[in-house]
C-alpha cells in the first residue's frame, strides 16, 4: 500500500477515537477534560501528523507502508527503576511514560489516584516507571532527569507529581522551584541536572521500550512480579481504572 496523505488523516482520526473512548469510559468517574487539556491534546496530534508527513516526504509516495503491529503480550525490564508499592506485590505494572505527553498527564489526573488507593496501597500491585520521552517533546528528557535528580534525594514520586501538575512549565527555573517546594538540597539538585547523570539510564529506558515494541505513551505492561523482567499484557492509552482492573485481576 502506498503512503498517501489519506493515511495520515485516517491515523489521526484513529488516535482521536482511541483516546476519546478512554475519556468517555472514564466519564462516570471524572469531569470532562479542561480547555487546557483539549488544547494540549490537539497540539499532540499536530505533532504526530507532522512526524508522519515528514516520513512521507522522506520516503516518497512509492514506498511501501505497513502499519506497525502493536504487541498484545511483551516483556520489559523493571530493574533499577523508580517503583511505587510493595516490591513483593503479586502484580507489577510497568508504566512507559513521557512527562510532556498530555495523555500521560490525563492518566495521572484521572486514574493514578484510584490505582494507588485500590491496588498499590493494599499490597496487590507495584508500579514501575520507565521513561519514553518522544522526539518531538523537546523538554521531556530534561523533565525526566529532574525527576531522577529528585529521586536521588528520596523524592522521585513527589517530583513526578509536581511535573505532571505543571506540564507547561518545563525549564530549569521551574525545576528548581519544585525542588525548593519539596525541600530538596537545591545545590545538589542543580548539579545533578547540569551533569546529566541520569541521561544514560533514560536512554536505556527508551531502548527497552523500543525492543518491547512500545512506541507510544502512555503504555503499560501488566504481569506477575519477578525480580527483573516483567512479561504480560500490553495496554496503550490513558485508560480508566475499570479497564486496568480487568488486567490486574487476571494476574492476581
- Which one, of 86, 18, 78, lies nearest residue 232 by Cα? 78
The pLDDT tens digits of the residues spanning 116-170 come to: 999 999 999 999 999 999 999 999 999 999 999 999 999 999 999 999 999 999 9
Q: Are the C-beta atoms of residues 248 and 124 closer than 8 Å to each other?
A: yes
Q: Show the CA angle centred on residue 192, arms to residues 190 and 194, nearest 5°.
A: 70
Residue 85, pLDDT > 70, answer yes
Residue 115, pLDDT > 90, answer yes
Residues 6+ apart with CB under 8 A from 135: 51
The pLDDT tens digits of the residues spanning 92-113 come to: 999 999 999 999 999 999 999 9
Residues 6+ apart with CB under 8 A from 13: none
Global pTM value: 0.78
User: How do beta strands 230-236 and 83-84 pair?
Assistant: unpaired
Whole-number average pLDDT of the chain: 83
Any idea how long the chain is?
252
The pLDDT tens digits of the residues spanning 16-30 come to: 444 444 443 444 444
How far apart (Å, rounded) are the C-alpha atoms in residues 74 and 16? 25
Residue 245, pLDDT > 60, answer yes
- pLDDT score at 45: 58
Most confidently modeled of 58-62, 63-67, 80-84? Answer: 80-84
Q: Is the peptide bond before 218 cis (omega within 30 degrees of 0)?
A: yes
- pLDDT score at 17: 40
Mean pLDDT over residues 213-232, rounded? Answer: 97
Confidence of residue 71 (pLDDT cuts 50, 70, 90): confident
- Which one, of 197, 189, 205, lies nearest residue 81 by Cα? 205
Grid cell for residue 203: 536512554
Residues 6+ apart with CB under 8 A from 109: 30, 164
Largest CA distance in the chain: 57
Q: Are the C-beta atoms of residues 75 and 226 closer than 8 Å to each other?
A: no
Cα torsion angle, 163, 41, 92, 114, sign = positive
Amino acid at each position: 500500500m502506498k503512503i498517501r496523505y489519506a493515511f495520515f488523516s485516517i491515523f489521526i482520526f484513529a488516535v482521536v477515537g482511541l483516546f476519546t473512548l478512554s475519556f468517555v469510559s472514564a466519564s462516570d468517574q471524572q469531569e470532562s477534560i479542561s480547555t487546557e487539556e483539549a488544547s494540549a491534546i490537539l497540539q499532540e496530534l499536530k505533532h504526530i501528523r507532522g512526524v508522519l508527513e515528514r516520513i512521507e516526504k522522506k520516503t516518497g509516495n512509492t514506498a511501501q507502508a505497513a502499519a506497525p503491529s502493536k504487541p498484545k503480550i511483551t516483556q520489559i525490564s523493571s530493574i533499577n527503576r523508580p517503583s511505587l508499592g510493595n516490591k513483593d506485590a503479586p502484580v507489577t505494572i510497568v508504566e512507559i511514560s513521557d512527562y510532556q505527553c498530555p495523555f500521560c498527564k490525563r492518566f495521572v489526573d484521572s486514574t493514578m489516584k484510584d490505582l494507588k488507593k485500590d491496588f498499590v496501597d493494599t499490597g496487590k500491585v507495584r508500579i514501575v516507571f520507565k521513561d519514553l520521552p518522544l522526539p518531538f517533546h523537546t523538554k521531556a528528557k530534561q523533565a525526566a532527569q529532574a525527576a531522577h535528580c529528585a529521586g536521588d534525594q528520596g523524592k522521585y514520586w513527589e517530583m513526578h507529581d509536581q511535573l505532571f501538575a505543571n506540564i507547561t512549565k518545563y525549564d530549569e527555573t521551574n525545576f528548581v522551584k519544585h525542588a525548593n517546594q519539596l525541600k530538596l538540597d537545591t545545590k545538589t539538585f542543580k548539579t545533578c541536572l547540569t551533569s546529566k547523570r541520569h541521561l544514560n539510564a533514560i536512554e536505556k529506558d527508551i531502548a527497552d521500550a523500543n525492543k518491547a515494541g512500545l512506541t507510544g505513551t502512555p503504555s503499560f505492561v501488566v504481569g506477575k512480579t519477578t525480580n527483573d523482567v516483567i512479561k504480560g499484557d500490553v495496554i496503550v492509552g490513558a485508560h480508566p481504572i475499570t479497564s486496568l482492573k480487568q488486567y490486574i485481576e487476571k494476574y492476581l
